[in-house]
Chains A and B, each alone.
Chain A
């Protein structure tokens, strides 16, 4: 038995012994996703037990070093771990912007002290982070951001506001881009970390077209941030921000930008009428769903290849932009088809039968996929410039 086979057997055995049956059920509602944090209320014992078991083993962040709360797995081992999780339909023990975004940035740019201090609580799900990037006047043109940190010697005094801060109202800490030099556009931003309980921080949820409020406006009114709480160098936060955006796009891509990567036609075949030949009885919708399925299965292969290459340093550094673009456009298409397949039932907004209009709300939510984390148009700009090397882009 090769080392990897032995590892697979070990993981399989561990999962069998430690993953509660409830945690192998599909995600049905928002509370099923565990975000952790100071104020997290576990939905049930199984969710708590699963998080704790994974955290103790380093499996919330399997490829992070052990010193920072990970399991220190190699890329091959991580792939096997994920395959084994998927095999038993195990839920993610912990979803977290700390894991997906801040963690990779700290691993790259943080001091040893910062890594130990911040990464371990992230891995254990003790601190929930949010991301302070966009501002009302700075969306796609993020680098124009105006939130300002005035230098007061041993601390900054931060004033300004952020928008589209995911779950800011539930987060414990924020990683935040703050201008610290008004004269220097790119080299005048510092990547700060501070507690959302700091005096002067307020949040206000934004009601979206889906009727839900996953995003907030976040206001800073004379917030004091100690001058130890920054990542990388002062005024060089844009480097960290760009690196992190790459990871965000990687996360969106690898973590299912294409949404649920199963056959859409196969899912509808159960509920939809079929003709005598066993085909969905709307031939045009069937054809569209089948064409979509081709793209889904193709994107799944792309996701596998992308991760294999990304983890071993073979991928073009800008290729996560392509993944994000293709995957999010695909997910929007899926939800258009889900609505068509559901017909008038899928229009219901709050009925019990539709789980409170899950399809309609989900469909509307996906429209943000190609806006958040960089719009599709920005992704295409980046591909044109950095991968195709087109002029003037």
Chain B
């Protein structure tokens, strides 16, 4: 498969890009932020997403979805990134779907159709501390009656306070098990925190939460592979969103270089800025190609996908970070003002960079996967 969008994918982009730009531009984020919105996203917008079939893009057709791949989901995520659109798309329609589709069974049958129909918002309760360490999950699930009792603390759970269901990773006797914990489960407390990018992420406490045996996603003790699928999908999705954030910041900055005058010249005439902008262009192009490669390998079920996913998360992280830093610097004083959008790009980049493993985490993973 060539590493560019085919005609169907190009058509998808042509319909999604103007839709997101018109319905949820940066002003949409500002409106939610300035009204101290407590949901974290617009349900009206999610309804519009549903009308276009987007929440169920990755859901298999048998479960009422479109059965598309990560390359297609990435097209939507890039536009979400470019417009800084607050949306539960990444956790619900990418991360949760990847886990449920991989696991199959009762929970897949219960939740996948509800995701496709736009009815269910899903949160991913993986992290437990300030850093992403999925190999050190401490939350426990112990057998109790016909089911399990969950105890522990989760953090950085985006949409955790409004999600209809949270996918919780917990330790069981023989490994990791994933659970579908419904919103109203007793003993679950979600404490939402406003983050730097105005999104809401919860600290979730699981205090003797009792769930039925069929709340298990997949098999008991065999959640490792399902968690891997969830992580690979979410990381790749976050990387695609970062490509959108970086591209949006870069485009805005290059435009500014062609408008702003100092010393009687457009500042874009100065070679000092031209070279930095050109360097940034290269980094963004490489990041985009890398993310597409990860998407393609995931869609093919290729064994090399895992390495490329970490490469993509790290490379997109580096490139988007450069884009927002150069963006603020090249905008000068106004780049520091709340009124200008470039600062909002910097904030979103920071949150995405941290989500599901930062640059350093994934660089380390790349070393491990290469035997050093």
Point out residues on A near B: beta carbons under 8 Å: 76, 263, 265-266, 268-269, 272, 274, 278-280, 286-287, 289-291, 293-295, 297-299, 301-302, 304-306, 308-309, 312, 314, 319, 322, 325-326, 377, 379-381, 383-384, 387-393
Contacts and interface: CB of A to CB of B under 8 A. Distances in A.
A291 B89 CA distance: 30
A304 B289 contact: yes
20 contacts: A76-B2, A269-B370, A272-B372, A287-B364, A289-B367, A290-B370, A297-B366, A298-B311, A301-B3, A301-B311, A302-B286, A305-B288, A309-B2, A309-B3, A325-B282, A326-B283, A388-B254, A389-B258, A392-B265, A393-B269
Contacts of A263: 370
**How would you classify the secondary structure of chain B's contact residues: helix, strand, loop or mixed?**
helix
B372 A274 contact: yes
Contacts of A308: 2-4
Interface in B306-341: 307-308, 310-312, 314-315, 318
Given A269-B372, A280-B372, A294-B362, A286 B367 contact: yes
A317 to B, nearest CB: 14
Given A301-B289, A304-B293, A290 B274 contact: no
Contact of A312 (B2, B282, B318): B2
Contact of A293 (B3, B4, B277, B370): B370
A298 B289 contact: yes
B4 A305 contact: yes
B278 interface: yes
**How would you classify the secondary structure of chain A's contact residues: helix, strand, loop or mixed?**
helix
Contacts of A325: 278-279, 282
Contacts of B43: none
Nearest to A392: B269
Interface string B1-25: 0111000000000000000000000
B287 interface: yes
Nearest to A325: B282
Contacts of A312: 2, 4
A391 B364 contact: no
Contacts, number: 149
Contacts of B282: 322, 325-326, 383
Nearest to B313: A294
Nearest to B310: A294
Contacts of B362: 294
B366 A293 contact: yes
Contacts of A381: 271, 274-275, 278
Nearest to A301: B293
A20 B358 CA distance: 46
B290 interface: yes
Contact of A387 (B268, B281, B307): B281
Given A298-B286, A388-B278, A391-B268, A305 B292 contact: yes
B103 interface: no
Contacts of B275: 377, 380-381, 384
Contacts of A268: 372
Contacts of B279: 325, 380
Nearest to B280: A388
B367 A383 contact: no
Contacts of B281: 322, 383, 387-388
B258 A391 contact: yes
B323 to A, nearest CB: 13
A297 B310 CA distance: 10
B372 A279 contact: yes
A189 to B, nearest CB: 26
A387 B282 CA distance: 11
Contacts of A274: 372
Nearest to A303: B289
A343 to B, nearest CB: 16
Contacts of B269: 390-393
A319 B286 CA distance: 11
Given A274-B372, A312-B2, 11 more contacts: A269-B370, A280-B372, A299-B286, A301-B3, A301-B289, A305-B289, A309-B2, A325-B278, A381-B274, A383-B278, A392-B269
B363 A269 contact: no
Given A390-B269, A390-B277, A291 B363 contact: yes
B266 A391 contact: yes
Interface in B237-266: 254, 257-258, 265-266
Q: Which 10 A-B pairs have the closest CB atoms?
A: A392-B269, A301-B293, A383-B278, A384-B274, A290-B367, A305-B3, A269-B372, A266-B370, A305-B289, A308-B2
Contacts of B271: 381, 393
Contacts of A379: 278
B371 interface: yes
Contacts of A322: 278, 281-282, 285
Contact of B290 (A76, A301, A387, A389): A301
Contacts of B311: 294, 297-298, 301
A390 B370 contact: no
